[in-house]
Chain A
Amino acid sequence: MTRPGFVLEVDERTPPLLVHEGEGFRLQKFPLGARVVYAPDPLPGIRDLPGAIRQALLNPHDSEPLPELLKPGMKLTIAFDDISLPLPPMAKPDIRQRVIEAVVELAARKGVEDLRLIVANSLHRRVTADEVKRAVGERVFRSFWPRDLYNHDAEDQDDLLYIGKTDKGEDVEINRRAAESDLIVYVNINLVAMDGGHKSVPVGLASYRSVRPHHNVHTMLHSKSYMDPREGRSAIHDSCARMGHLLRDSGIRIFTIETTLNGETFPSQFGFLNKREWEWSVKDQVMFLAAKRANDLAPARIRREVWRRIEAPYKVTGVHAGETEAVHERTLENLHRQQLVEVNGQSDVLVLGVPYLGPYNVNSIMNPILVHCLGLGYLFNMYRNKPLVRPGGAVIMFHPVPWEFHQVHHPSYVDFFEEVLSETTDPSTIESKYEQQYATDPWYIHLYRNSYAYHGVHPFYMWYWGAHALDYLGDIIVVGGDPKACARMGYRAATSFRDALEMAGETVGRSPSITYFHAPPLAIAEVR
């Protein structure tokens, strides 16, 4: 049995702890008594993965076996998560490849001819040919790309189908090809509890019109735990569930296949990043020293390239198939086995090391807005029940927050940062005043459809993800952050952790309780 998650109390025996800070990391001493939340050790992977996939497809939950759903002459669409998952990208072969190959094999044997594969990228940037090839494998890529394997286009009015409104008045519009298929097989990777379930088809294959009802400030402020999709806990998941039910009631048949991965986030040469510090061997210490020195001394371009090439040696811990909700329930159980950590009570200060990679800068640059999204949108929200920090408390993040943008991937981000955030950082004002303008801007739509740009509205969503944290927290301080970029976002920059604690003292008092959320590897804090 692997070791469960763990909350360390820093004492005089505790060595300095590793903290991620963008494309770098550091050892940081924490005050005595600070708590540190560690994820459970990686679970063992499934030994016979092809057997487990076959088993899932032949014995699905609340559904007929997949072979029985496949018939000659049918229209079959396989949709799958884009490269925003998993993080870092999984070492080859990607689990999507393994599952899609199994489905395609069954379809071929059953005489299915009309088969298309769609990258469910929603309003994310289009995925390049190389990236698709990496995700689905050479065999699938060569057979289907580009005619029958392509990116979903949320702005292609000819390839969208309006399904109707939910009982709460939410518009549902998804990819026409998928909606008109006899069967949609959705292949998912569930990295965190927020993913999967009804967030797959109703969001991944949706248009702006259909994403808007739940990606907004009101919903985010009422999603008290993004990582707890149970009914009533997260408004965004409730909205997605209503959309999923509407699709089902409209006669759209979805066969969901969800997979979960263990916590082996970094390859062996960076093994120390996966370990608890006091368990570092001499080799780990030497590797830390060598990696840190090389990283600090390397030119920025080379440093980024080295980080970009990191592949996670993830192992698959679960494959479940069948009806969406039945599958997702089991997926979450698996995920919780790997990520859930019980934590007793909240603290005054939450410390977050923001790593180099988030869902929206794969093969790209983490710009300041993505730092906001990853820190306050994702890491802050990695809890169930209540946040790790008390209302009005402070978050201290580590990240250089460079004023830097990928001009191809994030064009609307540049303008959002320059035009919108210079006016206001209030999510509600931003939403009401600027969202429509960016979402319907023809140039951004053109770049989204024909280049590799995120949709014009995407930076708004990134800002909304942090809305709950902005509303909840009393202070946000970034250690090592670019002062100008931080000021633009309403943060305060500190040069050292000690300074940051000193600054936080103005909000939370002179001797605050501190919790350091030690991630990655990812954990979900179950706060009692």
Chain B
Amino acid sequence: MAAGKRPGLADEIRDLAKGWRWGRRSVVPRSAEPYAPPSESRAFPTAWARTAAAGAAREVILRYGLRAVVWNETSPEIHGLDNLEGLEAPVMFISNHTSHLDASLIMTSLPREWREKTAVAAAKDYFFDVWWRSAFTALVYAGFPIERGGGERATDTARELVRDGWNLVVFPEGTRSPDGWVQRFRLGAARLCIELGTPCVPIAIHGAYQAMPKGRSWPKPGRPPISVRFGRPLDPREGETHQELSRRMFQAVAELFDEDRTTWWEALRRAERGETPKLSGPSGPKWLRAWEASRPLPRRSRRAWR
């Protein structure tokens, strides 16, 4: 609403529809939720999805189902998988998050030996709210529930999985970006890396917002290009705080974006000078941010040799 302008009926209806989520599940502010002691029995069981049989089924679904669909509807380009060479599992993959395509892109672009032992952290309140969605998430993504609100028990399952040798895919922003720009990283991922001594592999996904932003359930027509760029692993340093590691993670993703837009060399030099472009988007009016975020990626010409 413009400053000082009295809202009209349409504004009020829009505010109500948005604020009270007309047509969608109603939610309660987190701090207003009644306290319920956390109980394992209430959480959707996901251990079955990490068995050998479920793993075999997942491989078939990912390789011949999901990959076929995603690769058919969009034009992904995967870069930087060589950074995984020589790396020992388990690791934590962290990525920016703008679209429901993100988890599918990561899972289908990972080499098989990594994929078969990788689980995706999925918001408990969204992906584990009804049984069929929970089962789908657990089977297709080896998904496990994570509490967005944080707290003592939010990362219990993640901790157990890492100890069992599973790699994790975590979106530290906690939710999909509403405007395509990268939001503040929450500290849970960094805290977990430090606690478990796990390296984290940054990933920058560029173009997924343009292909299927929040609010869409299918990619836009025209096979929009998407770039998935894996970075060098970051190891937690001696005495490093989770805030510091989280800042490094954010910077690593920012450098990958810069590399994607320009070249590795230019991005490196800019990073050295502390001039990596911000991921939080341009300052200025809301329209400008949305405008810049939705700018389509340039199509790269298909060449026989590269």
Interface residue ranges, A against B (CB under 8 Å): 6-16, 26-27, 276-278, 280, 285, 288-289, 292-293, 296, 495-496, 498-499
How far apart are B203's CB and chain A's nearest CB, in angstroms? 24
How far apart are A8's CB and chain B's nearest CB, in angstroms? 5
- For B15, list chain A residues within 8 Å (CB): 16, 27
Interface residue ranges, B against A (CB under 8 Å): 1, 3-4, 6-7, 9, 12-13, 15-16, 19-20, 26-32, 175
* Interchain CB contact (< 8 A) of A27 among B3, B4, B12, B30: B12
Contacts A495-B3, A496-B4 given: A11-B12 contact, CB under 8 Å?
A: no
- For B19, list chain A residues within 8 Å (CB): 15-16, 27, 277
CA distance A276 to B31 in the complex (A): 13
Looking at B9, B12, B26, the one whose CB has the most chain A CB atoms below 10 A away is B12
- For B4, list chain A residues within 8 Å (CB): 495-496, 499
- For B27, list chain A residues within 8 Å (CB): 13, 278
Given A10-B29, A11-B30; 20 other pairs, CB 8 A cutoff: A8-B29, A8-B32, A9-B29, A11-B31, A12-B175, A16-B15, A16-B19, A26-B7, A27-B12, A278-B28, A278-B29, A278-B32, A285-B16, A288-B16, A289-B9, A289-B16, A293-B9, A293-B12, A496-B4, A499-B3
Contacting pair A13 B12 (CB below 8 A): no
- For A278, list chain B residues within 8 Å (CB): 20, 26-29, 32
How far apart are B32's CB and chain A's nearest CB, in angstroms? 6
How far apart are B28's CB and chain A's nearest CB, in angstroms? 5
| 3 shortest interchain CB distances as A-B pairs | A495-B4, A15-B19, A9-B31
Closest to A296 in B: B6
Main secondary structure of the interface of A (DSSP, over half): mixed
CA distance A241 to B28 in the complex (A): 46
CA distance A500 to B187 in the complex (A): 31
Contacts A27-B15, A292-B12, A293-B9 given: A13-B30 contact, CB under 8 Å?
A: yes
Contacting pair B31 A289 (CB below 8 A): no
Contacting pair B20 A280 (CB below 8 A): yes
- For B29, list chain A residues within 8 Å (CB): 8-11, 13-14, 278
How far apart are B262's CB and chain A's nearest CB, in angstroms? 32
- For A496, list chain B residues within 8 Å (CB): 1, 3-4
CA distance A276 to B29 in the complex (A): 11
Q: How many CB-defined contacts (below 8 Å) exist between A and B? A: 55
Main secondary structure of the interface of B (DSSP, over half): loop
- For A277, list chain B residues within 8 Å (CB): 19
- For A13, list chain B residues within 8 Å (CB): 27-30
How far apart are A298's CB and chain B's nearest CB, in angstroms? 14
Contacting pair B16 A8 (CB below 8 A): no
Contacting pair B3 A498 (CB below 8 A): yes
CA distance A288 to B13 in the complex (A): 10
- For A27, list chain B residues within 8 Å (CB): 12, 15-16, 19
- For B7, list chain A residues within 8 Å (CB): 26
* Interchain CB contact (< 8 A) of A289 among B1, B6, B12: B12
Looking at A9, A15, A288, A289, the one whose CB has the most chain B CB atoms below 10 A away is A15
How far apart are A330's CB and chain B's nearest CB, in angstroms? 31
How far apart are B29's CB and chain A's nearest CB, in angstroms? 4
How far apart are A503's CB and chain B's nearest CB, in angstroms? 12
How far apart are B246's CB and chain A's nearest CB, in angstroms? 18
Contacting pair B20 A285 (CB below 8 A): yes
- For B6, list chain A residues within 8 Å (CB): 296
Can you sample 23 A-B contacts with CB below 8 Å?
A: A8-B29, A9-B29, A9-B31, A11-B31, A13-B29, A13-B30, A15-B19, A15-B20, A16-B19, A26-B7, A27-B19, A276-B32, A278-B27, A278-B32, A280-B20, A288-B16, A292-B12, A293-B9, A293-B12, A496-B1, A496-B3, A496-B4, A499-B3
CA distance A412 to B6 in the complex (A): 34
How far apart are A402's CB and chain B's nearest CB, in angstroms? 15
How far apart are B259's CB and chain A's nearest CB, in angstroms? 31
- For B28, list chain A residues within 8 Å (CB): 13, 278
CA distance A520 to B15 in the complex (A): 22
CA distance A498 to B4 in the complex (A): 10
- For A276, list chain B residues within 8 Å (CB): 32
- For B12, list chain A residues within 8 Å (CB): 27, 289, 292-293
How far apart are A5's CB and chain B's nearest CB, in angstroms? 12
How far apart are B11's CB and chain A's nearest CB, in angstroms? 10
